[in-house]
């Protein structure tokens, strides 16, 4: 009995699907017609765009060919004059470059003659530093000795003055 119910249910589902299809059949047909019209319109627009681009490209090619013909038709005398001008101008540029190169070479040679090697520079810098340090230490020692000497001299003068005062007023 359960098999009959299932088969009945399957048959009833088929009937309901057919009914739904028949209800929406007109909408499906209308959607297909609209899709075909849209595709046709878009294809027409694409074909127009392609043909316009091809026409534009052919115009550009013909313009380029016209310019090429004009360039080729220039007189040989004009080309010859242009080549002479370029050659003369090129010679001036070469001379300027040679002069510049000679000047730079002379400067490099002069710098090579007067340069100091890093080792020599470091040795001279160390020597100057050592000499300066020695002179500073000597000055510090002389200054210290000066203050010590002055202090002792002041003490001696003060002592002598005190002895003098005791001698004069002490009796």
Using 50, 70 and 90 to split pLDDT, how confident is the model at 93? Answer: confident
* Calpha distance 152→127 (Å, rounded): 37
Q: What are the boundaries of each domain within the chain?
A: 1-73, 75-115, 117-171
* Calpha distance 83→89 (Å, rounded): 10
Show the tokens assigned to 43. Answer: 């294809």
* Calpha distance 46→52 (Å, rounded): 10
- The DSSP call for residue 8 is H
Name the residue with tokens 């009833």.
12
Question: What pLDDT is stored for residue 1 in this prediction?
Answer: 44
- The DSSP call for residue 13 is H
94-134 pLDDT per residue, tens: 777 777 778 778 887 787 777 777 788 788 888 888 888 99
Show the tokens assigned to 140. Answer: 């510090």
**104, 82, 85: which is closest to 93 by C-alpha?**
85
* Calpha distance 109→102 (Å, rounded): 10
């Amino acid at each position: 009995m359960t098999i009959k119910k299932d088969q009945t249910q399957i048959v009833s589902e088929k009937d309901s699907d057919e009914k739904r299809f028949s209800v929406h059949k007109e909408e499906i047909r209308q959607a297909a017609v609209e899709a075909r019209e849209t595709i046709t319109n878009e294809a027409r627009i694409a074909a127009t765009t392609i043909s316009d681009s091809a026409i534009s490209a052919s115009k550009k090619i013909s313009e380029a060919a016209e310019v090429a013909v004009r360039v080729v038709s220039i007189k040989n005398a004009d080309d010859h004059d242009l080549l002479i001008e370029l050659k003369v101008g090129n010679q001036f540029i070469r001379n300027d470059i040679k002069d510049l190169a000679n000047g730079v070479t002379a400067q490099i040679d002069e710098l090579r003659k007067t340069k100091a090697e890093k080792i020599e520079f470091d040795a001279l810098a160390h020597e100057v530093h050592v000499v300066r340090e020695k002179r500073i230490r000597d000055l510090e020692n002389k200054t210290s000795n000066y203050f010590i000497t002055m202090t002792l001299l002041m003490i001696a003068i003060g002592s002598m003055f005190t002895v003098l005062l005791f001698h004069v007023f002490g009796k």
